Amino acid sequence: MNRKYTYPLLMMVVITLIVLGEKYLENQEKKERVEAGEVVKSQALSFFLPKAENNTIVHHKYYTLSYDEPAEQAAWVAYTLTHDQLKRVEVMSRPYFDIDAAVATGAADWRNYKNSGYDRGHLCSAKDRSFSTQAYNETFLTSNISPQLHRFNSGVWNRLENQVRDWAKRYTKVTVVTAGVLADPLAAIGDEEVVVPHAFYKIVLRENASGYTCLAFLIPHSESGKDLKEFVVSVDSLEFVTGIDFFPKLEDSEENRIEKSKLLKDWKF
């Protein structure tokens, strides 16, 4: 064959092999990340995880989530927050948001939020994971954010996050389950139509002398100066709104006791 044609053909073959090789490595890395996300990292936390129904569960090192693909965000994020974690605060630079490769169906791209008028609102707060660089960076995965109005994010939602940190310091350890209410959204943003929740919830649970006690909050997605106590609801009512069974592994009697009541007396505001 004429050299004039041989070299271009060889170059095309080499380029094709390089592209295919890169694609193969990319797919392998994706597979490994997904498989890693399927491994439970904390047996203690797994006891308190809600049911995921048909959603993908992803176990990161410092929190676990259930990803709702149609809504392009988590239906719930669960994690444990301790007094010791809050004592070890490191000063870290804020990283860029990154697509969560452990979500098998593909997590939303952060660009959906660009020029949308909504903040990239953390579900597992970055401040709750400021005790190590890895823990902090994990909160900047797109599976851990939801569209939030800035005045909501920096206002009533921030007040609730601060209150939860105060409880973790006071009571040594709390378990948190949180996300937006994905039914009846206010809107959808970006090319992937990320749902804008009409409300956000947060459940805080801890052990006490009688077993467990918890508080559930349901906050409309709008600016508010109301006292946080005004947003307290029963877990049962939150389950009705979200369709999520929150503490299925608790003994039935214990689950019924804490889910039917608003146990305000057990918590210091």
**Is 59 among the residues known to form the active site?**
no
Same structural domain, 31 and 112: no
- Write down the pLDDT at residue 28: 47
1-5, 96-100, 237-241: range with lowest mean pLDDT: 1-5
> Could you list the residue range(s) of the whole structural domain that residue 12 is in?
1-35
The token duo for 212 is 């467990």
Residue 123 vs residue 40, higher pLDDT: 123
Q: How many CB atoms lie within 10 A of CB 4?
A: 7
Check pLDDT > 80 for residue 116. Answer: yes
Check pLDDT > 50 for residue 33. Answer: no
Q: Please identify which of the residues 59, 60, 122, 221 carries the catalytic annotation.
A: 122
* Top-ranked range on mean pLDDT: pick from 41-55, 84-98, 220-234: 220-234
Same structural domain, 67 and 93: yes
Q: Where residue 6 falls among pLDDT bands split at 50, 70, 90?
A: low
Average pLDDT value for residue range 198-216: 95
> Which CATH number does the domain housing residue 130 bear?
3.40.570.10
Same structural domain, 220 and 164: yes
Check pLDDT > 70 for residue 11. Answer: no
Q: pLDDT of 163-187, one tens digit each?
A: 999 999 999 999 999 999 999 999 9
Check pLDDT > 50 for residue 215. Answer: yes
Closest by CA to 200, choosing from 218, 184, 187, is 218
Average pLDDT value for residue range 236-265: 90
56-60, 158-162, 175-179, 216-220: range with lowest mean pLDDT: 56-60
- Write down the pLDDT at residue 29: 47
Query: How many domains in the chain?
Result: 2
- Write down the pLDDT at residue 67: 97
Please give the Cα distance from 123 to 145 (Å, whole number): 6
DSSP per position, 235-246: HHHHHHHH----
Q: Where residue 52 falls among pLDDT bands split at 50, 70, 90?
A: confident
Same structural domain, 49 and 102: yes
Same structural domain, 151 and 171: yes
Tokens 């039914």, residue located = 183
- Write down the pLDDT at residue 50: 94
Same structural domain, 9 and 65: no
Determine the Cα angle at 165 with ends 159 and 167, to 5°: 105
Same structural domain, 5 and 98: no
Q: Is 144 annotated as a binding residue?
A: no
Same structural domain, 107 and 185: yes
Residue 254 vs residue 195, higher pLDDT: 195
Average pLDDT value for residue range 242-248: 95
Report helix angle 252-260 to 235-242, nearest 10: 90
Same structural domain, 76 and 99: yes
Q: pLDDT of 222-244, one tens digit each?
A: 999 999 999 999 999 999 999 99
Same structural domain, 61 and 14: no
Average pLDDT value for residue range 203-214: 93
- Write down the pLDDT at residue 163: 99
Please write down the HEC assignment for all residues of 74-129: EEEEEEEEEHHHHHCCCCCCCCCCECCCCCCCCCCCHHHHCCCCCEEEECCCHHHH
